[in-house]
Structure 1
Amino acid sequence: MSVIKCMIVEDEPFARKVLQNYIHQFEHLEIVMEAESSEQARDYLNLHSVDLIFLDINLPGTDGVAFYRSLKNPPKVILTTAYPEFAVDGFDIHAVDFLLKPFSYDRFASAVNKLFREIKQSETFKAEDVIFFKSSKRIYRVKYESIYYIEGLGDYVSVQTMDNKIIVHETMKDLEFQLRGYGFERIHKSFIVNSKHIEYIEGNQVSVNGRLVPVGKAYRHNILSSDNML
């Protein structure tokens, strides 16, 4: 495993010191930036990339979750806070873990090991270039490149591939997160498309494997700025 570049965003000096001490005990973690506010963190991220943020929720003038949501390409995040009621925010932004202050080294290590497992799983998926979908009693192994588009159907989604259509009990938001970095773009509240299969854009529609898919006004910038369309 390569070195994971970490940022600490924490306004309390003692809390930063605790994180420093804990992080230094993991050879695969490296602190590249410590910020006392979201403004300092944003200034750094505008010029540099990090792999992980240890993010305090209660920051001067804002809250950490709102800051994280505002990032265009957010890295992985482990939330820290003294208030357990904010745990639900961690699930909402797919945080690796939620550390309730004051947390022990063992609890911190548990969060980091969870991160390592996620990275290892992600690297395995990337190496195989596949994703797994559970539909009814079956689990389908699907290559990313074989997916044309995904259509939202209320509490379900329809995954249209080169071979078949798979109905999955999943949300568009969760799938958008899972497919991030694999060439997929959310272009409508009900559609995620594989940019590699877009044939052309015409007005407020794109053609994907012969089907015209609508482009929502709020998502138009996604398709126009996609690296796969340049």
Structure 2
Amino acid sequence: MFHIAVCDNDVVIHQQLQQYFSELSISSTFTFNISYFSSGEELIDYYEHGGAYSFHILLLDIEMNGINGIETAQRIRALPDRELQIIIMSSYPEYMIESFDVQTFHYMIKPLAYPQFENILKKVFHYIESSTQSFVVIKIDQEQIVLRTSDIISIVKIKHALSQNRIKVITTKEQYICSGTLADYLNRLGHPFMQIYRSVIINLEHVFRFSADTVIMTNHEQFPIGRSQSKNIKDAYARHVITQSKERGKSFCTVQHWSE
């Protein structure tokens, strides 16, 4: 399921997009949850009061009362939320160049026509599904759920499951039981995910601290570390922290210490 925000001060546009999304849900296999906002201030307020990283896609009008769409997008990017796919809506093509500064995925010209809407939305859906560095799609029964890889804390094989290929994906918000193997997810996700035990994959970004034979994650859950892998895992974590610090432009970083 894709979580989508629409920000436009025109109620008619809200109604039109509701109809378009209804048609798209019938003509495709995609599912989505839509939230509507009437101003940039309302959307920013939602983000600042616990709604950060809630959406995969934002359909954003430029000409609004109060802060305009470009400023709204700039403030969202500054949070930072770089993974949000922004689709600008405007009656004025001349805003297109300015919208590039906020890393927009596409530009929709008003008045909105359904073929244009359908084409652009399908493109962004397929783009997100293929962006394994930022998102991963898991299947639960007949539903597809899109997760940010940065939200995944760990992936654990379920013991004594009726099916041998059942795993639990633990995120910062929820836990999901789905089909799959650890090897498959490790291949799909790559760094910073690492298998630390025969039944556990962790995201190095969510490590809180290590002990001699255990790792404690940011959600306070503890997992064992395979004896033969202990040094390699801790070294990999140290390299990860140093790399992340360099990417943020820091000249000095403090690597977490673990007790032996």
TM-score when normalising by structure 2: 0.49
SS in structure 1 at match of 2:23:
coil
In structure 2, how many angstroms separate the alpha carbons of the residues matched to 1:229 and 1:115? 38
Q: 2:36 aligns with which of 11, 34, 37?
A: 34
Which amino acid in 2 is paired with 1:41? Answer: L
- Cα 1:22–1:129 change in 2 (3 A) is same
The aligned residue for residue 17 of structure 1 is 15
In structure 1, how many angstroms separate the alpha carbons of the residues matched to 2:237 and 2:89? 36
In structure 2, how many angstroms separate the alpha carbons of the residues matched to 1:63 and 1:207? 34
In structure 1, how many angstroms separate the alpha carbons of the residues matched to 2:241 and 2:89? 45
- Cα 1:198–1:30 change in 2 (3 A) is closer
Consecutive unaligned residues in structure 1, runs of 5 or more = 131-142, 146-181, 184-193, 201-205
- Residue 68 (structure 1) aligned with residue 73 (structure 2): yes
- Total equivalences in the alignment: 156
Alpha-carbon distance, 1:93 to partner? 2.2
In structure 1, how many angstroms separate the alpha carbons of the residues matched to 2:123 and 2:100? 14
Q: 2:59 aligns with which of 45, 51, 54?
A: 54
Question: Which deviations, in whole Å up to 9, do the C-alpha atoms of 1:112-162 show, x marking residues without a partner?
Answer: 1110221122038866468xxxxxxxxxxxx756xxxxxxxxxxxxxxxxx
SS in structure 2 at match of 1:96:
strand
In structure 2, how many angstroms separate the alpha carbons of the residues matched to 1:195 and 1:207? 14
Alpha-carbon distance, 1:214 to partner? 5.9
Which amino acid in 2 is paired with 1:20? Answer: Q
SS in structure 1 at match of 2:103:
coil
- Cα 1:102–1:69 change in 2 (3 A) is same
Aligned ranges 1:95-174 → 2 under 5 Å? 95-123=104-132, 128=187, 144=191
Which amino acid in 1 is paired with 2:19? Answer: N
- Aligned residues with identical type, % of pairs: 18
SS in structure 2 at match of 1:24:
helix
Is the CA contact (8 Å cut-off) linking 1:8 and 1:34 kept in structure 2? Answer: yes
TM-score when normalising by structure 1: 0.55
Is the CA contact (8 Å cut-off) linking 1:9 and 1:38 kept in structure 2? Answer: yes
> Structure 1 runs of 4+ off > 4 angstroms?
124-130
Alpha-carbon distance, 1:90 to partner? 3.3
Which amino acid in 2 is paired with 1:70? Answer: R
Which amino acid in 2 is paired with 1:88? Answer: I
- Residue 197 (structure 1) aligned with residue 232 (structure 2): no
- RMSD of aligned alpha carbons: 3.9
Q: Kindly indicate which of the two structures has a greater share of residues assigned to strand.
A: 1
In structure 1, how many angstroms separate the alpha carbons of the residues matched to 2:246 and 2:6? 43
Which amino acid in 1 is paired with 2:46? Answer: Y
Alpha-carbon distance, 1:29 to partner? 4.4
Is the CA contact (8 Å cut-off) linking 1:23 and 1:29 kept in structure 2? Answer: no
- Residue 80 (structure 1) aligned with residue 89 (structure 2): yes
Of structures 1 and 2, the larger Rg is shown by 2
Consecutive unaligned residues in structure 2, runs of 5 or more = 137-184, 193-203, 206-235
